Amino acid sequence: MDSRRELALIIAAFFSIYVIWGSTYLLNKIAVAQLEPLMLAGFRFTTAGVLIFGITVLLGQSLKISQRQLINTTIAGFLFLSFGNGIVVWALKFVDSNFAALEISAQPLVILLMMWILQGRKIRPMSLIGVALGVIGIYLLVSQKAILQQENSWLGILMIFSAMLAWAYGSLFVGRADFPKNYFVNTGYQMFTGGVMLMIFSFLFGERWILPDQWTTETTWSMGLLVIFGSIVAFTSFNFLLTRVSPEKVATNTYVNPIVAMFLGWYFLNERITGQSIIAAIILLTGVYFINTKNGFTGLRRWWRRGM
pLDDT value of position 303 = 31
CA-based max dimension of the chain = 56
How many domains does one find in the chain? 1
Q: What pLDDT is stored for residue 248 in this prediction?
A: 64
Q: What is the pTM of this model?
A: 0.82
State the pLDDT at residue 291.
76
pLDDT at position 123 is: 78
Q: Residues 108, 251: contact at Cβ < 8 Å?
A: yes
Range of the domain at 286: 3-307
**What is the chain's pLDDT, residue by residue, as a tens digit (308 residues)?**
678 888 889 889 988 988 898 899 999 999 999 999 999 999 999 999 999 999 999 999 999 999 999 999 999 999 999 999 999 999 999 998 988 888 888 887 888 888 888 888 877 788 888 888 888 988 888 788 777 677 888 999 999 999 999 988 998 898 789 999 888 899 899 999 999 999 999 999 999 999 999 999 999 999 999 999 998 898 888 878 888 887 767 867 767 788 888 889 999 999 888 888 889 888 988 887 787 665 444 433 333 333 32
What local confidence, expressed as pLDDT, does residue 25 receive? 92
